[in-house]
Amino acid sequence: MRNVTLNNGVEMPVLGFGVYQIPAEETERAVGDALAAGYRSLDTAAAYGNEEAVGRAIRSSGIARRELFVTTKLWVSDAGEDKARRACETSLRKLGLEQLDLYLIHQPYGDVYGSWRAMESLQREGLVRAIGVSNFHGDRLVDLIDHNEVTPAVNQVETHPFYQRTADQELMRERGVQIESWGPFAEGRNNLFTDPVLAKTGAAHGKSVAQVVLRWLVQRGVVVIPKSVRPERMAENLDVFDFELTAEEMASLAALDTGASLFFDHRDPAMVSRLGSHVLGD
């Protein structure tokens, strides 16, 4: 597996496994299958309700902790300096880990600055190896960077063929922030899996649409964390390092960009209120 080097020197696999929307009761099996397939980077969140199952799968895999890269995320209802520290300790306990590889602020809402101070301390103390954010547009990202000590190592944002984030990626590059894609397949929206441009590109390489999309992201320097509950797709999604898209193919994929989210805009006031008031259960 190829790694990227984050701005504090920590190495992160360029391709990992996401567990959003995998029900808690199915997660242990799915993560176990993903680890068996060869994934070493796992992306969960307090809000996904499956950290304990991820932890069980890690323990029963027998894989050495140092070979794994585990990311989880802080939810909005835990924002703030004291609450964020407690939330990190809760996530560590649920995962059964002593250290996270990456801890992200899940949404750019609430007391982000208090959360960030807590995360800076957690990193200094060694409870987390790297800290970052998710769903931050450029303005929020730059404000956070310019008024704090630690620059986020990662910004995990919706990134797929229909919302490519090239200007955002350039801003992140200038600021030393690694872009990470969530929803690399747009969860299948916009008929992604039957898109003619993606299908034609795949046919030219003997690869599937999913593999073309992941290859295209990796080739752009974007970290990816596709989700699948099916072992054959887990293997398919890992198998993207034995071919390369040509400049012409990269240009034809670039033309698919709509420049807009297929889910929602994190700057929409209704969503700010809706997500910001969602409180996690136990």
Binding site residues, ligand NAP, CB under 6 A: 18-21, 43, 106, 134-135, 156, 182-188, 193, 208, 210, 225-230, 233, 236-237
End-to-end C-alpha distance for the chain, whole angstroms: 35
Distance of CA 2 to the CA centre of its chain: 16
Q: How far is C-alpha 30 from the chain's CA centre? A: 17
Least separation in angstroms between CB 232 and ligand NAP? 8
Residue 188 CB, nearest approach to ligand NAP (Å): 5
Min separation Cβ 209 and ligand NAP, Å: 7
Q: Phi-psi bin for 57: left (phi > 0), alpha (psi -120 to 50), beta?
A: alpha
Closer Cβ to ligand NAP, 149 or 196, answer by number = 196
Residue 246 CB coordination number (10 Å)? 11
Whichever of 76 and 122 has its CB closer to ligand NAP, that residue is: 76
d(CA 179, CA 138): 12
> Which residue has its beta carbon closest to ligand NAP?
18
d(CA 262, CA 244): 27
Active site residue 113: no
Nearer to ligand NAP, 62 or 77 (CB): 77
Active-site residue identified among 48, 103, 109, 163: 48
C-beta of 62 vs 94, nearer to ligand NAP:
94
Contacts of 11 (CB under 8 A, 6+ apart): 3, 4, 5
Provide the minimum distance between the beta carbon of 244 and ligand NAP in the complex, in angstroms, as a whole number.
19
Residues designated as active site = 48
